[in-house]
Structure 1
Amino acid sequence: MKLFSSKLFCWALALFLCASVLLGFNLATGRLSFLTNGTGVLVTPVQQALTRAGNFVSDVFGYFYRYDSLVEENQELEKRVQELEQKEREYYAAIDENTYLRELAGLRRKNSQFEYELAEVIGLSSDGVSTTYTLSRGEKDDIEVNDAVVTGDGLVGYVSSVGYNFCEVKPVTDISLKMGAVISRTREVVVAQGSYDLAEDGLLRLSYLKNDSDVLVGDTVETSGYGGIFPKGLLIGTITEVLPESHGISTYAKVKPAAQLDSLKKAYIIKSFTITE
């Protein structure tokens, strides 16, 4: 028959017999034949390579999955941190506002005839001699030029110009300012004013002191109420030094402002008060 005499059949039969012999050998001895071992030697590295490649691909996909998860988690954490930071800012802003409101309540109890307007410092300009503060209240809040400006510590200055929703304030150290004042302890009447020589040091000048004046370093100075701009009794500052005038006729003193002008954040504008003539 042609089927049994063909080369293909012969090769197939030979392979079948060979496989049968190898299988019988493996079953009978429990050991791998030389051919099986050889095949394993050749196939095993390929299997290892395929396994490693599969593991690598799995790790790559796992990495990107974990990366995406981490990115999403990080975004969520950043959002949470921003929310917490905003709440923290609101918390401290509320505390700050409450502090100023308590201070304002104290000022109103002390001077019930004054009408106050709480304002925030929104700008500051200075050329080394003259300083101007910009506050967040203006014409719409009934603020007017020459309104006095104070803090809980003392007198800040006066309103020098007014816009619709802001105003500009000159401090007590400004060279344009000159006001009636008294020494709190001795009640000696003097003049407090800004000075070119002292403005850079953040001080103002107390002029027209008598040579035999009983003024001492540490004495406080307050507004006298004369002149129409500032009400009576506002604390101006503390005397730091008493010196003779160059002409020798009188004495002058250096005064440190009571208000913390270098760290001013909010202030109170006195919109109305009783003028002492």
Structure 2
Amino acid sequence: MYHKVVRRRMAAAGGLLVVAAGLFVATAGERTSVTWPERVIGDAVAAVQGWLYRPAGAIGEFFGNLRDLQNVYEENAVLKASLHNYFALQAQVNDLETENERLRKIAGLMQSPRGKTLIPANVVDRQPDLWHDILTIDVGSAQGVQKDMAVVTADNALVGRVWAVHDHSAVVQLLTDTSRQPVGISALILGVGPTPPLGIINKVSPDQRTVQMTSIGMDYDIKPGLTVETSGYGGLFPKGLIVGTVSSVMRGEDGMTKTAIVRPLANLDNLQEVFVVRRNGG
């Protein structure tokens, strides 16, 4: 009750001050000087107006800050959405570039070999316990596939050979297979003098990550990083298929030759599309 009385009295006093200020302003034009009551009332009115203005200004500033905060929040949401769209578009661009590069390699492979016919195939089955040994493709004798034909990737990297053929599918023996009789691949090492050294790829390392090229002459200076490709001798694998690169060299088991450890170029852990290679008329 007391506070209500005080508020009423303050409101009444404020009203009187405003009325008095209005009267003094209305009659000030008729006089050349301001009397001391006018100065006192003017100062009081100014004080009351300042007392009323400061809370109003603070409230206005508070709501202004709220509007600014809302604008910042909305701008932040727009930026987040734009950033998300950017990353999504970038991912799509990367996928398209990868697909474009894959198709370019396939087109180049289909056009480059002479005297060879390529049969495209998809990998349709791989067993976990035989992951480094065999895989199944979706082409067979109906598409011209025959036993012992070479199988390569879009990079012309040797994968292995056709081991068994059905009407519309075939089983491919990988380079790193250790569960079947290994096939000797006649190969040569490029970049070693005018006559590349020859050897036979007929062994697989215990971890099935590399193969061994044996029977290399002791006189050749073979360094890691050199490319190994099929020689074409023997008639099983056409010449020029890339086997991989030399990772290390050691003395052969007979003590009279060298053995090169070769890491396959083909990513045998991740094969989706391959090509069966046959000679024209084969």
Provide TM-score, normalisation by structure 2: 0.59
Contact 1:204 1:257 in 2 (8 A): yes
Q: 1:252 to 1:192 in 2, by over 3 A?
A: farther
How far 1:138 moved relative to its partner?
1.8
Q: State the distance in 2 between where 1:256 and 1:222 align.
A: 17
> How far apart in 2 are the matches of 1:149 and 1:262?
13
Q: 1:254 aligns with which of 253, 259, 266?
A: 259
Check the 8 A contact 2:133/2:176 in 1, yes or no: no
Counterpart in the other structure of 1:117: 120
Q: Secondary structure at the match of 1:194?
A: strand
Distance, in Å, in 1 between the alignment partners of 2:148 and 2:39 is 112
Matched, 1:174 2:177: yes
Q: Match of 2:177, as an amino acid?
A: D
2:84 is equivalent to residue 78 of structure 1: yes
The 1:187/1:22 distance shift into structure 2, 3 A limit, reads: closer
Residue ranges of structure 2 left out of the alignment (5+ in a row): 1-15, 189-194, 223-227
Q: Distance in 1 between matches of 2:26 and 2:280?
A: 123
Compute the RMSD of aligned alpha carbons: 5.0
CA distance in 2, matches of 1:237, 1:71: 51
Q: CA deviation at 1:74?
A: 3.8
What's the TM-score, normalizing by structure 1? 0.60
**1:150 maps to amino acid:** V
Q: Is the 8 A contact 2:232 2:239 kept in 1?
A: yes
Q: Secondary structure in 2 aligned to 1:178?
A: coil
Change (3 A) 1:242 1:261: farther
Q: Look up the match of 1:6.
A: none
Aligned length: 243
Distance 2:208 2:40 in 1: 102
Gaps of 5+ in 1: 1-14
Measured against aligned partners, the alpha-carbon deviations of 1:62-114 in whole angstroms (never above 9, x if no partner) come to 4314522442354245324523442343134213321332133212xx233x3
Aligned identity (percent) is 11
Q: Shift of residue 37 of structure 1? A: 1.5
| 1:106 matched to 2:106 | no
Residues 1-150 of structure 1: pairs in structure 2 closer than 5 A = 19=20, 22-23=24-25, 26-27=28-29, 28=31, 29-30=33-34, 32-107=38-113, 110-112=114-116, 114-117=117-120, 131-132=132-133, 137-139=137-139, 142=143, 147-150=149-152
Q: Does the residue aligned with 2:183 lie in a helix, a strand or coil?
A: strand
